[in-house]
Every structure is written in C-alpha cells, then in structure tokens.
C-alpha cells in the first residue's frame, strides 16, 4: 500500500470513528432542548446516553467477529448503514420511546466502527507503523470532546436539536461510498460459524449490569441495593456472565477468547483497560468540580477543560510514534506516572487556576497514552490476524465496563460526602489507582515490534 492510499485509508477510518464519538459529546448540550421538545422527565434523560453505550457494548463482539469472518469492508459498511438508519430515526423522533429506540440503533451501528477500524490497521500496516496510526485514531476521542459541545452549541443556536443527527446521514453515505472503494474485502478468517450463544449471553450480562447501575438513586442507594427490581437484573447479569464463560470454552471460535488471558501481556492490558475506563469516568465529573471550586458558570467550566482535551489530542499521536521507537512498556509507565501526578495535583487544587491547568495538562497527556494506541498496540501484536477485531472489541468492552462501574460509584460518593471532601477523595483515589496500575505494568515486556515478524 503506497503513501497516498494509506492516507486515504486513515482519513476514512478517522472520520468514521470521529462521527461515532461525536454522537456522544454533542448530545449533552441538546438534552435541555430534547427534554422540552419531547416532554421528557429529567430523571429519564440520562438514558439518552446510557442506551447508546449499552447497545454499543452489545454489538462490539458481534461486529468484530463478523468482520473476521466476512471481511472488514462488508461489516464496516453494514455498521455505517445501521448508524445512518439510527440517525434518521432519532432525527424524526416524536416521543421519548422512539428517540431511545433510535439511539439504540445508533449505538449498535457505532459498535462496529472502532474495532473494525483498529483491525484494519492491524491488517494493512506493518508492525513498526501501527502505534503511530492507532495513536491518530485514538486522538479522535479527544478531538470529539473538544469540538462536539461547541459544534452542538452553535448549531442549536440556529436549528432544532434534530439537525444534530441529520448531519450524520450525508457523512455516513460518503463514508460508505469510499469504504466500498478503499477497504479490503478479503475475510481474515476461513471459519464461518458465529457464536450466537456467546453473543446472547454477553448481551444479557451487559444489559443487566448497565440497567442496575443506572437505576440506583444516590439519594436512597441503600434501599436500592435491596430493591428486587434493581438487583434482579444484576443477578441475571452475573448468571449470564458465568454462562458466557462456559459457552466460550466450548465453541471453536468464541467471541471472547478466554485463552487470550493465558498470555500475560493481554491479561495486563485488560486490567489496565478497566482502570482506563475508571479514569475516563472520573473525567466526566471534572466540569462539576470546576464549577464548585472556582465558582464559574458551566460554560466557563467547559472552556477550562481545554488543557485536558488539547493535551490528549496532542499526546495520542505523539506517544503512538514514541511507542514505535521506545517500546510500549516505557510509554505506558510514562503515561501512568503523568496520570498519578496530575490527579494528585488536582486533589490539592485550591483557589489557584495555574495548578489546575498544570494538573489538567498532565492528566490529558497521561490519558492520551491509555486511551490512544498503547493498549490496542499490545492486543494487536499478541493475537493472530484472524483474531485482531475480536481482541479490539474485548478491549473496548473492558474500558466501557470500567466507565459504567466507576460512574455509579462516583455518583454515590458525591451524593453521600461533603462536596470538597468528595472530590478530594475521588481524585486521590484515581491517583492511587494509577500508581497501582504502574506496578501492574511492570510485568509488560518492552518489545519494539518492528524488530519482530508479524504474526
């Protein structure tokens, strides 16, 4: 593949992932308009986010496996098409139930975009270039959270909220057109059986888990923990997870290959992935912290996140390039050190904004290592070609589980502890978690993969 073709391919994957990421960040500014337009009760508005994440999680393993069997092009186009249909559905929503159904379709379609994009990179780029390209794709999420709220705010000033989703339709059609021309169509695997039992089990496990943790009310969480309506889905989720374990051990081509975890490098990457989800969830609460600590408006607080987001967008491709040169272990250790230092500084932030901005830059750089290319780089280089998409899907699931669990725990913490103490406890806890992951990361091999032959 020559340089011109590789640039086209990267642009195609970049825009696809950006579109899926933007559909999370643009919804925030639109929620007041959606609540008013569709007469939604405020306590149900969170499901506009949650149902997208839930169906994104449910679809990841299915699309990853389908792309291994039927080829990256067909499944990437299918995922984009489903996402486009979901966008039309949401844009035409006339009530809350229709809106939620559309968001579910969107999330399901988006679930096929990132793991397939990551697998394409593993298929077509040599080992010495994967870190750099994955870093560029990883930077998309930082860029999405930077431009998403601003873009949504400007658009909502002139147009109804529906148009936030209408714009997905022409973008999806353009991506589908170029995907048919650029992406490879040869399947990565010859085995064509789909693990439907595993897909159903993981879907039930994730759905029950998500429903339970999102149904707990921070004001009376003790009662909720013994409420059968909330705990029963969690029990069903746990049972489904056990069933999944048995199913995946027996099928020839499982959607989750538990034998991956006999590989120490993959096991460590999985543990760090869950911690990464926790770190990302804690970042969601930083704007509220800024409002409370510096007594600024929510719009000013959003602007004050710029150091976090810019350093993430800059750090992802930079550290991706450094992985190719210095090895993944050194870069992950560097990132976790920056995270620990940043969150310790954030926990000690007083009235001075200078310390806050320094901590934000450190956290952004550290997070760019974990959310960028490093963990996906480990997975790509410790699995065979036919399992690349599956491994990327598994990694995304681990990160999302960390996000879902941490969001519930942090919400309970902020509701039950005095505000300043709650944030100090939160940020100190994340710093300690980063230090623990630093110890875990000592078990990584500092392999520079361009010295190795590809699988």
SS3 letters across the chain: CCHHHHHHHHHHHHHHHHHHHHHHHCHHHHHHHHHHHHCCCHHHCCHHHHHHHHHHHHHHHHHHHHHHHHCHHHHHHHHHHHHHHHHHHHHCCCCHHHHHHHHHHHHHHHCCHHHHHHHHHHHHCCHHHHHHHHHHHHHHHHHHHHHHHHHHHHHHHHCCCCHHHHCHHHHHHHHHHHHHHHCCCCCCCCCCCCCHHHHHHHHHHHHHHHHHHHHCCHHHHHHHCCCHHHHHHHHHHHHHHHHHHHHHHHCCCCCCCHHHHHCHHHHHHHHHHHHHHHHHHHHHCHHHHHHHHHCCCHHHHHHCCHHHHHHHHHHHHHHHHHHHHHCHHHHHHHHHHHHHHHHHHHHCCCCCHHHHHHHHHHHHHHHHHHHCCHHHHHHHCCCCHHHHHHHHHHHHHHHHHHHHHHHHHHHHHHHHCCHHHHHHHHHHHHHHHHHHHHHHHCCCCCCCHHHCCCC
Architecture of the domain whose range is 1-188: Up-down Bundle (1.20)
User: Tokens 């696809």 appear where?
Assistant: 16
Give the per-residue pLDDT at 21. Answer: 81
Looking at residue 168, its pLDDT comes to 92
Task: Please check whether residue 60 is in contact with residue 397, taking contact to mean a CB–CB distance below 8 angstroms.
Answer: yes
CA nearest neighbour of 103 among 184, 49, 26, 66: 49
Per-residue pLDDT of the chain (455 residues; tens, 9 = 90+): 667 787 888 889 889 988 988 887 777 667 767 877 787 765 566 678 778 878 888 888 788 778 878 888 899 999 999 999 999 999 998 888 899 999 999 999 998 888 788 778 877 877 767 666 766 776 676 567 667 766 776 787 788 888 889 999 999 999 999 999 888 876 655 556 777 888 889 889 888 887 887 777 655 666 766 778 778 988 999 999 999 988 888 887 777 777 788 888 999 999 999 998 888 878 767 877 887 888 877 667 767 877 887 888 788 778 878 887 888 899 999 999 999 999 999 988 765 788 999 998 999 899 888 877 788 888 878 877 667 666 777 787 788 788 777 776 776 677 667 778 888 889 999 999 999 999 999 999 876 654 443 44
pTM of the predicted structure, to 2 decimals: 0.77
Q: Which residues of 385-413 are buried (b: 16+ CB within 10 A; e: fewer)?
A: ebbbbbbbbbbbbbbbbbbbbbbbbbbbb
Cβ atoms 139, 372 nearer than 8 A: yes
pLDDT of residue 452: 40
pLDDT at 28: 65
What CATH number was assigned to the domain covering residues 260-455? 1.20.1250.20
pLDDT of residue 332: 93
């Amino acid at each position: 593949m020559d340089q011109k073709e590789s640039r086209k391919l990267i642009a195609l994957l970049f825009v696809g992932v950006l579109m899926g990421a933007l559909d999370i960040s643009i919804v925030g500014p639109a929620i007041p308009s959606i609540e008013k337009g569709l007469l939604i009760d405020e306590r149900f508005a969170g499901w506009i986010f949650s149902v997208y994440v839930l169906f994104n999680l449910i679809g990841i393993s299915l699309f990853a496996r389908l792309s291994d069997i039927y080829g990256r092009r067909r499944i990437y186009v299918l995922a984009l098409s489903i996402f486009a249909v979901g966008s039309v559905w949401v844009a035409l929503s006339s009530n809350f139930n229709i809106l939620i159904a559309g968001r579910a379709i969107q999330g399901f379609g988006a679930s096929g975009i990132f793991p397939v994009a990551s697998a394409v990179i593993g298929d077509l780029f040599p080992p010495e270039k994967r870190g750099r390209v994955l870093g560029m794709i990883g930077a998309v999420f930082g860029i999405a959270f930077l431009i998403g709220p601003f873009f949504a705010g400007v658009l909502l000033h002139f147009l109804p909220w529906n148009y936030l989703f209408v714009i997905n339709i022409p973008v999806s059609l353009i991506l589908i057109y170029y995907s048919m021309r650029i992406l490879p169509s040869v399947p990565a695997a010859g085995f064509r059986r789909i693990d439907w039992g595993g897909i159903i089990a993981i879907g039930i496990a994730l759905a029950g888990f998500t429903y339970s943790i999102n149904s707990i009310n921070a004001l009376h969480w003790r009662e909720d923990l013994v409420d059968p309506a909330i705990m029963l889905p969690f029990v069903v989720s746990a049972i489904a997870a056990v069933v999944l374990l048995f199913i995946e051990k027996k099928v020839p081509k499982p959607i989750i290959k538990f034998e991956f975890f006999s590989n120490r490098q993959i096991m460590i990457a999985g543990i760090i992935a869950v911690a990464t989800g926790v770190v990302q969830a804690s970042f969601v609460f930083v704007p509220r912290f800024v409002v409370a600590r510096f007594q600024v408006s929510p719009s000013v607080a959003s602007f004050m996140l710029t150091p976090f987001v810019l350093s993430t967008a800059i750090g992802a491709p930079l550290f991706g390039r450094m992985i190719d040169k210095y090895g993944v272990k050194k870069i992950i250790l560097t990132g976790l050190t920056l995270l620990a230092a940043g969150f310790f500084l954030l926990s000690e932030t007083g009235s001075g904004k200078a310390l806050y901005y320094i901590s934000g830059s450190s956290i952004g750089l550290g997070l760019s290592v974990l959310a960028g290319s490093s963990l996906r780089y480990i997975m790509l280089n410790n699995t065979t070609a036919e399992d690349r998409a599956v491994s990327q899907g598994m990694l995304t699931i681990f990160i999302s589980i960390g996000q879902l669990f941490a969001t519930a725990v942090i919400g309970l913490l902020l509701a039950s502890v005095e505000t300043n103490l709650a944030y100090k406890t939160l940020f100190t806890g994340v710093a300690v978690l980063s230090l623990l992951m630093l110890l875990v990361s000592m078990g990584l091999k500092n392999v520079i993969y361009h010295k190795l032959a590809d699988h």
